[in-house]
Amino acid sequence: MEVSKIDSIIEQYGARESALLAILQDIQAKENYLPKDALEYVSQKMHIPLVRIFRIATFYNALSLKPRGLHKIDVCLGTACHVRGGSKILEKIERDLGVSVGETTKDNRFTLESVRCIGCCSLGPVAVVDGKVFGRLGQDKVSGLLKEFK
Residue ranges binding other proteins (CB under 8 A): 16-22, 25, 55-56, 59-63, 77-84, 88, 91-92, 95, 115-124, 126, 131-136, 138-140
Choice between 2 and 12, CB closer to other proteins: 12
**110-115/127-129 β-pairing:** unpaired
Contact 66, 105 (CB under 8 A): no
CB of 116 to other proteins, least distance (A): 5
**Calpha distance 110→125 (Å, rounded):** 20
Helix (H) or strand (E) holding 111: strand 110-115
Q: Are 44 and 37 in contact (CB under 8 A)?
A: no
* Least Å from the CB of residue 109 to other proteins: 20
The distance of closest approach from Cβ of residue 72 to other proteins in the complex, given in angstroms and rounded to an integer, is: 13
Work out whether the CA dihedral 52, 55, 61, 66 comes out positive or negative.
positive
Taking the complex as a whole, how short is the minimal distance between the CB of residue 120 and other proteins, in angstroms? Answer: 5
